[in-house]
Structure 1
Amino acid sequence: MWWFQQGLSFLPSALVIWTSAAFIFSYITAVTLHHVDPALPYISDTGTVAPEKCLFGAMLNIAAVLCIATIYVRYKQVHALSPEENIIIKLNKAGLVLGILSCLGLSLVANFQKTTLFFAHVSGAVLTFGMGSLYMFVQTILSYQMQPKIHGKQVFWIRLLLVVWCGVSAFSMLTCSSILYSGDFGTDLVQKLHWNPEDKGYVLHMVTTAAEWSMSFSFFGFFLTYIRDFQKISLRVETNLHGLTLYDTAPCPVIDERTQLLSRDL
């Protein structure tokens, strides 16, 4: 059995691979058509102009669904491993809410381009990166609470390093973007897709975009740490029939049918 066939380890793997593919394909298309500069454009800039914005939006919507599934499985796993520890239960629920909000933000970023509906796009970015960062932080605390009883210290330290990486990237991005969009470097920067080294604010722009890409990579790394955990969990669907037919008759007891969430024959 291959590693990705064990449990639900394919979920975080698929999430990272699919999202990376969305970024790469959109970037290649945008650069090939000269819609953005090759040197570190904003991630969302690679999905601003047609046709790449269609690809960007469709693929990120699927990524959001994969992300919700991954976050839910993680929630169920932690709940099953620590069903009676109050602090873990509360943190686990908080992580679920934060994760879903982050996925909602990802969908907003995918469907509302910054040159069209800037407020909606920025709101989505704040949800994606802001709630996503908090989700990583909460999951790292959970890892600390669960070691060494549930898993080793190594997992906690890896996730902690990824959270620090994410935090440094977020701080750099917020600081530089706040200065860049303060108005001292122009008033139409939102619509600007091409930058030259001699442009005012070019260095700040490059630092901001580099920090954005770096932050995304920290997210990828964090979800990859779920692979080993997800090898030890599977979900099943339980079907409860209230009758042997679909007519409006009194319900009668029937045998419950239980199947795996995903068949191994697929």
Structure 2
Amino acid sequence: MWWFQQGLSFLPSALVIWTSAAFIFSYITAVTLHHIDPALPYISDTGTLAPEKCLFGAMLNIAAVLCIATIYVRYKQVHALSPEENVIIKLNKAGLVLGVLSCLGLSVVANFQKTALFAAHVSGAVLTFGMGSLYMFVQTILSYQMQPKIHGKQVFWIRLLLVIWCGVSAFSMLTCSSILHSGNFGTDLEQKLHWNPEDKGYVLHMITTAAEWSMSFSFFGFFLTYIRDFQKISLRVEANLHGLTLYDTAPCPINSERTRLLSRDI
């Protein structure tokens, strides 16, 4: 049996591969059509103009669904492994909420281009990166709480390094972006898709875009750490019938039906 056939390990793998493909295909299309500069554009710039924005939006919507599925499976796994730990239960629920909000933001970013509805696009980006960073932080705390009884220290340290990487990238992006949009480097910068080295604020722009890509890579790395964990889990769906027909109103004892949803049990 291949590694991606074990448990639900294909979920985080598919999430990272699909999201990376969304970025790569949109980037190649945008550069080929000369809609953006090849050197470190904003991720959103690769999905601003047609036809790449159609590809970008469709693929990121699917990525958001994969992300929600991954986050939910992680939530169920932690809940099953630590059913009576109050601190872990609260952190686990907080992680689920933060993760879902981040996925919602990803869908908003995919469907509201910055040149069309800048406020909505920025709101989606804040949800994606802001809530996503907090989700990573909460999951890292959970990893600390669950060691060494449930898993070793190595996973915690890897996730901690990825969170630090994410934090440094986020700080750099926010700082340089705030300075760049302070008004001292021109107006309507959100409409600008082509930058020249002679342009005012070019260095800040490059640092901001590099930090944005770096932050995305830290997200990819974090979800890849789920692969080994997900090899030990599967989900089942259970149908509980409350009557002999779909029109019965009185409760009736009927045998439940269980169907394996994906792969094996925990």
Please tell me the TM-score bracket, short chain as reference: over 0.9
Paired residues, number: 266
Tell me, yes or no, if the aligned pair for 2:234 and 2:262 is still in contact at 8 Å.
no
Select between 135-144 and 246-255 the one with higher mean Cα deviation: 246-255
CA displacement at 1:240 relative to structure 2: 1.2
CA displacement at 1:241 relative to structure 2: 1.7
Structure 1, residues 156-180: CA drift from partner, whole Å, max 9, x if none?
0000000000000000000100110
TM-score by length of 2: 0.97
Kindly indicate whether residue 14 of structure 2 is the aligned counterpart of residue 14 of structure 1.
yes
CA displacement at 1:248 relative to structure 2: 3.9
Select between 235-244 and 178-187 the one with higher mean Cα deviation: 235-244
Give RMSD over aligned pairs.
1.9
Determine the structure 1 residue equivalent to 2:31.
Answer: 31
Q: Partners in 2 of 1:250 and 1:145 — Cα distance?
A: 46
Q: Partners in 1 of 2:196 and 2:189 — Cα distance?
A: 13
Determine the structure 1 residue equivalent to 2:256.
Answer: 256
Q: Partners in 1 of 2:208 and 2:246 — Cα distance?
A: 59
CA displacement at 1:206 relative to structure 2: 0.4
Aligned with 1:141: secondary structure?
helix
> For residues 50-69 of structure 1, what are the structure 2 equivalents within 5 Å?
50-69=50-69
Tell me, yes or no, if the aligned pair for 2:106 and 2:128 is still in contact at 8 Å.
yes
Aligned with 1:261: secondary structure?
strand
Q: Partners in 1 of 2:239 and 2:19 — Cα distance?
A: 33
> Residues 263 and 224 from structure 1, CA distance in 2 versus in 1: closer, same or farther, beyond 3 angstroms?
closer
Identity of aligned residues (%): 93
Determine the structure 2 residue equivalent to 1:213.
Answer: 213
Q: Partners in 2 of 1:258 and 1:189 — Cα distance?
A: 55
CA displacement at 1:246 relative to structure 2: 2.8
TM-score by length of 1: 0.97
Q: Partners in 2 of 1:77 and 1:166 — Cα distance?
A: 24
The structure 1 segments of at least 4 consecutive aligned residues displaced by more than 6 Å after TM superposition are 263-266
Structure 1, residues 92-124: CA drift from partner, whole Å, max 9, x if none?
111011001100100100000000000000000
Structure 1, residues 217-254: CA drift from partner, whole Å, max 9, x if none?
00000000000000001000001122333344644322
CA displacement at 1:263 relative to structure 2: 6.7
> Residues 235 and 218 from structure 1, CA distance in 2 versus in 1: closer, same or farther, beyond 3 angstroms?
same
Determine the structure 1 residue equivalent to 2:46.
Answer: 46
Structure 1, residues 188-218: CA drift from partner, whole Å, max 9, x if none?
1110000001100000000000000000000
CA displacement at 1:265 relative to structure 2: 16
Unaligned runs of 5+ in 1: none
